[in-house]
Amino acid sequence: MTNKYEITNDCKMVDGVKVYRIRALKDFNTDFHKVCKGDLGGYVENENNLSQNGKAWIDDNAVVKDNAFVVGDAWIDDNAVVKDNAVVVGKAVVSGDAVVRGNAVIIEKAVVSDNALVEGYAIVMDKAWIRGDTWIKYKTVIRGDAFVMSRMDI
């Protein structure tokens, strides 16, 4: 089986960790975007951060590092950061300047966007959408068709 991406020498430091830009090795369609062979993606610390299987992709200036990983058909883009032991799986999206950290899990068709922060053992699942300057933490579970945003977004 052919790998879908390679790690390039283009790197930068994020929180004291060197991360490397990825490049697509083949064409594939995601639910969000067509990725073409040669397209540059976002940044990973190592190959364990993004599955070579499925249609998961890290785009733009997004970063996945530490023991965090992205799998399935998940999409990470813009300036989003997924780190620590966080997991993004299914058709989940993390975008904007959102941060997912700790042991948080973003799963199924959940979306975390804008300046949202999801951390601790929080789980965002189903079609839940977390946006704005929202902070989801501890062992919170947001699910179903929930829509959580900051008062500033109203």
pLDDT reading at 88 higher than 90: yes
CA–chain centroid gap for 65, Å, is 10
pLDDT reading at 121 higher than 90: yes
Q: Tell me the pLDDT tens digit for each residue of 25-37.
A: 999 998 878 999 9
Tokens of 46: 């190592």
Q: Number of structural domains, the chain?
A: 1
What per-residue confidence (pLDDT) applies to 154? Answer: 40
Please choose, from the candidates 79, 89, 145, 154, the residue with its C-alpha nearest in 3D space to the C-alpha of residue 113. Answer: 79
Q: Judge contact between 135 and 153, C-beta under 8 A.
A: no
Please choose, from the candidates 86, 20, 6, the residue with its C-alpha nearest in 3D space to the C-alpha of residue 52. Answer: 6
CATH code for position 99: 2.160.10.10
Expressed as residue numbers, the domain containing 104 is: 5-153
What per-residue confidence (pLDDT) applies to 98? Answer: 98
